[in-house]
Structure 1
Amino acid sequence: MAANGVATVAETADRDANQGLRARLAEVYGQYARLRSDLDDLQRRLASLRVSCVSDDGLVRATVGPRGQLVDLSLDRGIYREADSDRLARTIVATAREAAARSAAQIEEMVAEYLPAESGTRKFLRDNELRSLLGHHDAG
């Protein structure tokens, strides 16, 4: 401060700049805190995700978790009317595979608001190719 007790132009500019930086820092910290809270919520939603699919014939219901793992399987009593175990096995696999694909699609939707469309993580969720996650691309 100048000898006469009046702030100089430079001191006023510095004070204004500091106030601007503090305001920007508070804004960025607020955004970080919201994102952190949102990500905690996303993590809880992902952990509790369950997706079920029913086979076309209605005899098989498969439920998968967030990683596509089979967590429940229900078979209608009608499966016993036909003794084709190979067909039943194919139906179970196809139904579980469809549930896993739907689970992956739901996860991609959940993370879409946090990641750019062409990020390696989102590509990995879509195509399940480790190359996408690592950022490696074949030439050609």
Structure 2
Amino acid sequence: MQAYAEELRATFTRLQERGPEIHRQARAVQVTEKSRDGLVSATVGARGDLIRLDLDPRIYRRQDSRELADVITDTVHRATEKARAMVVELFEPLVPGDQMKEHLEGDLESVLERMAAQMLGKR
């Protein structure tokens, strides 16, 4: 338990020292991804929020609206995955990548299980 407390203290100190700058960098993350055919371009922020969507005018030649919706959705999802990976990489010096992914994905169960295992010395 004492080792875990020391580890938490060290992590907290690193977060205080480097956290604000890394947080600023993470908030500034933007990723633009193009669809496989190059007709759809989506830009997302660090949280995967859609910032910009560009559609090449040739896209309107398609008659299948479901296909267009799928292409847009896929493009946004790929951009979001890249943005998350960039945020995880930025925080890597402070927070292990797998833990950061759990936090970003909102996987509270895994976060709590990991914390409990660390407190009990089961890493």
CA offset at residue 81 of structure 1? 1.5
Report the residue type matching 2:81 in the other structure: A
- Asked if residue 43 in structure 1 is aligned to residue 4 in structure 2, the reply is no
Give the conservation status (yes or no) of the 8 Å contact 2:89–2:97.
no
Q: Any unmatched runs of 5+ in structure 2? A: 1-11, 115-123
1:134 to 103, 112, 118: 112
Q: Matched residue pairs, number?
A: 104
- Asked if residue 122 in structure 1 is aligned to residue 111 in structure 2, the reply is no
Q: Which gives a bigger RCO, structure 1 or 2 (Cα 8 Å, sep 6+)?
A: 2
Distance 2:54 2:48 in 1: 16
The structure-2 alpha-carbon separation of the partners of 1:117 and 1:66, relative to structure 1 and needing over 3 Å to count, comes to closer
Distance 2:97 2:62 in 1: 46
Give 2:90's aligned residue: 110
Give the conservation status (yes or no) of the 8 Å contact 1:123–1:132.
no
Q: Deviations over 1:44-78 (max 9, x none)?
A: 11111111110000011111111111111010111
**Normalising to structure 1: TM-score of the pair?**
0.64
Distance 2:100 2:81 in 1: 14
- Asked if residue 100 in structure 1 is aligned to residue 95 in structure 2, the reply is no
Give 2:46's aligned residue: 66
Q: CA RMSD in A?
A: 2.6
Q: Which has the larger radius of gyration?
A: 1
Report the residue type matching 1:133 in the other structure: V
The structure-2 alpha-carbon separation of the partners of 1:134 and 1:35, relative to structure 1 and needing over 3 Å to count, comes to closer
The structure-2 alpha-carbon separation of the partners of 1:73 and 1:117, relative to structure 1 and needing over 3 Å to count, comes to closer
Q: Any unmatched runs of 5+ in structure 1? A: 1-31
Report the residue type matching 1:80 in the other structure: Y
Q: Equivalent pairs: percent with the same residue?
A: 35
CA offset at residue 133 of structure 1? 2.4
